[in-house]
Structure 1
Amino acid sequence: MSFYTSLSGLRAAQTDLGVIAHNIANAETTGFKKSDTQFADLVAGGAASDPRMMKGIGVAVSAIAQNFTLGAVEQTGNVTDLAITGDGFFAVRGGESGQTAFTRNGAFMLDQGGFLHDGAGNRLQMIATDGSGNPGASGATADTRLPLVNAAGADLAGVTIGKDGTISAAYADGAVTNVGRVALASFTSPVGLRPLGNSKWEATGLSGAPQIGFPGAGRNGTLLSGALERSNVDLAEEMIGLISAQRNFQANAKAIDTASQLSQTIINLRT
C-alpha cells in the first residue's frame, strides 16, 4: 500500500512542478494570470470503520485554481494599449471564426480596415453609439471600427480612449467623432473560466455568463490608455514553491525506495 500512497504523492508533486514551471515561463506574458495547485487527501474506510484505525492512502489534485489578482501596470505610451484597473475583461471576437473570448491583455492595434484587434485577428468589442452619439443598450456589442475617412472626406489622424472607455476618432480637418465605448465583461466566478491560451479565456457553466457593461460601472474598473497589465507572477514566490515541490517529490521517491528495501528484506528472510 505504501507504494501506491507514495506514487500518488509523486504524481501530485509532478503536477505541482508543471504548474509552477508554466507560471515561471509566463512571467513576462502580458495579461497572464498564474495558477495554484490545490491538493486533497485520500482516506480508505467505510461507515462502519473505526475512525481511530482509518489511515490515509495518498493525495489527489483537487483543482488547478487560476489567480486573477491584478498584475503590475506598465506605461507604454501607445494610445491603443489598454489596462483595466478593476476585475473586468476585454471581449474580443474572431474576425473569421466569430468566437468570443475574454482577455486582460490590452495590446491592441489598428489594421488597414480601421478595426482595433489584438494582432491575431481578434477584434476588440465595443458598445456602439447611436446617431446622436449616445451609447446603445448595454450588452449589445460590435467590432470596434474607426472610419478611415469622415463625412467631410478628411483622413483619420488619431484615436483617443478615455477612462470610461469612450473611443474618439480625430480627423485631419480637426473634427472628432465618438465611435463608441469599450465593452468590458465581468463574471460571477472568474476562476471557472476555461483558459484558451494567448492570455484568453472563454465562459463556462462554472464561470457564469458574461455580464457586459461599461468601464467604470460596477466592478469592471476604469481603463488606462497607453498602459498594459503585466503578468501577476511573483518570481520569488514561485521559486519558493518550486523548491517545496521538488522536496516533496524527493521525499515521496525516498518513501518508495524505503518500501522497496523493506520488501526486499522480507523476501530475503523467506529465502
Structure 2
Amino acid sequence: MSFYVSLNGLKNSQTDLGVIANNIANAETNGFKKSRTDFGDVVAATALTNPRMIQGVGSTVESITQVFELGPIEQTGSALDLAITGPGFFTTVNMETGKTYYTRNGSFTTDQVGNIQDGSGNVLQTYPVDANGTPTSNTPQDTQIPATNASGSEFASVSISTDGLVTASYADGSTLPLGSVALASFLTPEGLKKVGSSNWEVSGISGAANYGSPGYGQYGTLLSGSLERSNVDIAEELVGLITAQRNFQANAKAIDTATQISQTIINLRT
C-alpha cells in the first residue's frame, strides 16, 4: 500500500509545482491573481475500526484556490489605464460572441469606431448617464466615444474620474459625459472560471454578478493612469517551489525505500 500512498504524494507535489510555476510565469501579467493548492488527507476506516488503529492512506488535492488580494498599483499616465483600489471587477462584453467577462486588468484603449475595449474586442461596460453625469439606468452598456460632438467638433481626449464617470473632451472646449463605469462583485469570487488574458466568467460556484459604482458600498475607487499588477510575490513562490520540490523528493525516497524492503523480502531464503 505504501507504493500507492507515495505515488499519490508524488502526483500531489507535481500539481503543486505546476500551480507555483504558473504563478511565477504570470508575475508580470496585469490583473493576474495567484492560486494556491489545498490538500486533504485520505482515511479508510469503518464504523467498527478502532480509532487508535486508523492509518491514513495518503493525501489528495482538494482544490486549487484563487487568491484575490490586491496587487501593487503602477502608474502609467494613460487616461484609459484603470486600477480598482478595492473590491470589484471591470465588466466587458465581446463584440463578436456577446460573452461577458470580468477582469481586474484595466488596460483599455479605443478601436477605430471609438469603443473603449481591452484590445481583444471586449468592450468596457458602463451605466448610461444624463448631461450632468448622473446614471439613468442600472443596466450596463457598451462604452463608445463619438468622433464628433453635436456641434461637429472633433474628439480631443477622454478622462475617467475616481467615481467612474467617463467624460470626452472636444476641440471646441466642450465635454460630454459618456457613462459611469460599472463594477461587478460576486458572493464567491474564488468560484469564478478562468478563461485566460486575466479574464473570468461566472460559474455556478461564483453566483451571478452584482453591480455597483466605484467608491460606493464595498467597491473600490478608480485610479486613472494606473494599472494593477500581478499579486504574485516571487520570493514567496520560490520558497513554495523549494518546499514542493522537497515533498516530491521525500515521496520518491519513500517509494525507493518500499522497493528495497519488498526486494529484501523476495530474496529471503528459508
Q: Report the TM-score when normalising by structure 1.
A: 0.98
User: Counterparts of 2:184 and 2:174 in 1: how far apart (Å)?
Assistant: 31
2:105 aligned partner, one-letter code? N
- 1:167-191: per-residue Cα shift (whole Å, max 9, x none)? 0000001110111101100111111
User: Counterparts of 1:133 and 1:226 in 2: how far apart (Å)?
Assistant: 21
Aligned partners of 2:31 and 2:198 also within 8 Å: yes
Q: Which residue in the other structure is 2:242 paired with?
A: 243
User: Counterparts of 1:208 and 1:2 in 2: how far apart (Å)?
Assistant: 41
Q: Which residue in the other structure is 1:128 paired with?
A: 128
Shift, 1:270, TM fit: 4.9
- 1:158-209: per-residue Cα shift (whole Å, max 9, x none)? 0000000000000001110111101100111111111111101111121111
Q: Which residue in the other structure is 1:193 paired with?
A: 192
User: Counterparts of 1:211 and 1:174 in 2: how far apart (Å)?
Assistant: 37
User: Counterparts of 1:199 and 1:154 in 2: how far apart (Å)?
Assistant: 37
Aligned residue for 2:268, secondary structure, equals helix
**3-12 vs 261-270, which moves further:** 261-270
Q: Which residue in the other structure is 1:15 paired with?
A: 15
Shift, 1:137, TM fit: 2.4
Shift, 1:48, TM fit: 1.1
Q: Which residue in the other structure is 1:212 paired with?
A: 211
Shift, 1:130, TM fit: 3.7
> Would you identify which runs of 4 or more consecutive aligned residues in structure 1 move more than 3 Å?
130-133
Q: 1:69-218, aligned counterparts within 5 Å?
A: 69-130=69-130, 133-138=133-138, 140-218=139-217
- 1:20-69: per-residue Cα shift (whole Å, max 9, x none)? 00000000000000000000000110111111111000000001000000
User: Counterparts of 2:92 and 2:188 in 1: how far apart (Å)?
Assistant: 19
Aligned residue for 1:269, secondary structure, equals coil
Where in structure 2 are there 5+ consecutive unaligned residues? Answer: none
Aligned residue for 1:159, secondary structure, equals strand
Identity %: 59
2:191 aligned partner, one-letter code? G
User: Counterparts of 2:209 and 2:175 in 1: how far apart (Å)?
Assistant: 32
Cα RMSD for the two superposed structures? 1.0
Q: Which residue in the other structure is 1:48 paired with?
A: 48
2:182 aligned partner, one-letter code? A
User: Counterparts of 2:217 and 2:207 in 1: how far apart (Å)?
Assistant: 17
**164-173 vs 215-224, which moves further:** 215-224
1:81 aligned partner, one-letter code? D
